[in-house]
C-alpha cells in the first residue's frame, strides 16, 4: 500500500481593482484560496486511496496559521492529515523561492517517506512552476511535469502517466516510483467537500512544524531571489472601450461586426 503526500498552497487572489504598495499589492485587495492546481492534486490522491491503491494521504503546506482554513478544505475533501510548516524566520522572507521551498518540502518528504508526491503544476499567484521537479531531483525521486492522466494501477512500482505538451499533443511516459508528479488541471473533477467531510476535517490531525523541527537551516530559506518592483503591465494595444451600459455597448459591437461583414 502506498502513502501519498500532496503539497497544498494557499494562494493570494487579487480583486479586480487594486493598488500596489511598494513591491506588493495592498492588503485590502487581497484574498486567499486553495491553489487551483493543488485542488486537482488532492482529488487525484483521494481517488487513488478510494481505489485501494493508497492507504494514507497527507498534505503539506508552507504558511502561517491563517491558511489553516485552506488546509481544512483539503482535509474535508478526503486527505487524512496535514502538516503545516511555519517559522519566525519565514515571516520576513519576501520571496520564498524554488530553492527555499525545495529545502523545506524535502525535509518533510524525508520525514514522511511517501511513495508518491503530488504537487500542482504551478501556483496561481507567483507561478514558478518549478518546485515539484526541483523537489524530486533533491530527493533522488523520479518525476513527471504537467501530468493530465495517471493510470490507477501503479503495478511493479511504475506510474504510467500522460504529460500534456503544447498544441494538443500528449506524451505517454512510464515513471518509476517513488516519484513526484506535477498535476495539471482537468486530470479529474475535484469534488466539493460534503458537510460530513467538513465536520470530520475539524477533527483530523494538523501538525505544525518549525524549521528546527525539520532540521532546515534558517539561512537556507532566505532565498537567492529578491523582488525589487511591482507594477501594472503596459498595454500593447490601443483599446477602444465602449461605454454607456451593456445595451449601448452591445449595439456598438454589433455595428463593428456588420462593418467587418462578418455578421448578418
Partner 1 sequence: MSDVLAITDHRRGELRDVSYEIITAGRDLADETGGDLHLAVISGTVDEFAEKLDREGVDAIHTVDYGEEFNHGVYTQTITQLYDELAPQYVLAPNSVNGLDYAPAVANELDLPIVTDAVGLETDGDTLGVTREMFGGKVETATELEGDAVVTIRSAEWPAAEGTGDATIEAFDVEIDEDALGSTVTGFEEVGGGDVDISEADVLVSVGRGIEEEDNIPIIEELADALDATISSSRPIVDNGWLPKNRQVGQSGKVVTPDVYIAIGISGAVQHVAGMKGSDTIVAINTDPNAPIMDIADYAIHDDLFDVIPALTEEFQ
Ligand X SMILES: Cc1cc2nc3c(=O)[nH]c(=O)nc-3n(C[C@H](O)[C@H](O)[C@H](O)COP(=O)(O)OP(=O)(O)OC[C@H]3O[C@@H](n4cnc5c(N)ncnc54)[C@H](O)[C@@H]3O)c2cc1C
CA 18 from chain centre, in angstroms, equals: 23
Q: Binding segment for partner 1 among 46-54, 81-89, 194-202, 233-241 (CB under 8 A)? A: 233-241
State the CB neighbour count (10 A cutoff) for residue 198: 15
Least Cβ distance, residue 131 to ligand X (angstroms)? 13
Is 130 a binder of partner 1 (CB under 8 A)?
A: yes
Q: Which of 27, 65, 156, 232 binds partner 1 (CB under 8 A)?
A: 232
Rg of the chain on CA atoms, in Å: 22
Binders of partner 1 among residues 148 to 187 (CB under 8 A) are 160, 162-176, 179, 185-186
Q: Which residues bind ligand X (CB under 6 A)?
A: 121-122, 146
Q: Which of 18, 26, 55, 199 binds partner 1 (CB under 8 A)?
A: 18
Residue number, nearest CB to ligand X: 121
Sign of CA dihedral 46, 50, 53, 58: positive
> Which residues, in sequence order, are CB contacts of 168 under 8 Å at separation 6+?
none
Least Cβ distance, residue 264 to partner 1 (angstroms)? 6
Least Cβ distance, residue 56 to ligand X (angstroms)? 28
- Residue tagged 505544525 (cell numbers): 208
> Which residues, in sequence order, are CB contacts of 246 under 8 Å at separation 6+?
none
Q: Is 133 helix (H, G, I), strand (E, B) or coil?
A: helix
Is 33 a binder of partner 1 (CB under 8 A)?
A: no
State the CB neighbour count (10 A cutoff) for residue 32: 15
Is 28 a binder of partner 1 (CB under 8 A)?
A: no
* Residues 113, 197, 32, 205, Cα dihedral to 10°: -40
Binders of partner 1 among residues 66 to 125 (CB under 8 A) are 95, 97-99, 102, 124-125
Least Cβ distance, residue 200 to partner 1 (angstroms)? 26
Q: Which of 17, 65, 91, 156 binds partner 1 (CB under 8 A)?
A: 17
Amino acid at each position: 500500500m502506498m502513502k501519498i503526500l500532496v503539497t497544498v498552497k494557499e494562494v493570494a487572489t487579487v480583486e479586480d481593482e487594486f493598488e500596489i504598495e511598494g513591491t506588493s499589492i495592498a492588503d485590502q485587495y487581497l484574498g486567499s484560496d486553495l491553489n487551483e492546481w493543488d485542488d486537482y492534486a488532492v482529488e487525484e490522491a483521494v481517488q487513488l486511496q478510494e481505489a485501494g491503491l493508497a492507504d494514507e494521504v497527507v498534505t503539506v503546506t508552507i504558511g502561517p496559521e491563517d491558511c489553516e482554513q485552506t488546509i481544512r478544505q483539503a482535509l474535508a475533501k478526503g486527505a487524512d492529515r496535514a502538516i503545516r510548516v511555519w517559522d519566525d524566520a519565514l515571516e520576513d522572507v519576501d520571496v520564498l523561492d524554488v530553492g527555499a521551498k525545495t529545502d523545506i518540502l524535502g525535509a518533510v518528504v524525508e520525514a514522511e517517506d511517501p511513495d508518491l508526491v503530488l504537487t500542482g503544476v504551478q501556483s496561481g499567484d507567483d507561478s514558478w512552476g518549478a518546485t515539484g521537479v526541483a523537489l524530486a531531483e533533491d530527493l533522488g525521486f523520479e518525476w513527471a511535469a504537467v501530468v493530465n492522466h495517471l493510470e490507477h494501477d501503479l503495478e511493479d512500482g511504475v506510474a504510467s502517466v500522460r504529460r500534456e505538451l503544447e498544441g494538443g499533443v500528449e506524451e505517454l511516459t512510464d515513471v518509476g516510483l517513488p516519484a513526484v508528479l506535477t498535476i495539471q488541471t482537468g486530470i479529474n473533477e475535484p469534488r466539493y467537500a460534503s458537510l460530513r467531510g467538513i465536520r470530520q476535517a475539524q477533527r483530523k490531525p494538523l501538525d505544525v512544524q518549525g524549521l528546527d523541527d525539520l532540521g532546515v537551516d534558517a539561512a537556507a530559506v532566505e532565498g537567492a531571489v529578491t523582488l525589487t518592483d511591482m507594477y501594472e503591465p503596459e498595454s500593447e494595444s490601443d483599446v477602444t472601450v465602449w461605454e454607456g451600459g451593456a445595451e449601448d455597448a452591445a449595439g456598438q459591437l454589433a455595428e463593428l461586426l456588420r462593418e467587418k461583414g462578418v455578421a448578418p
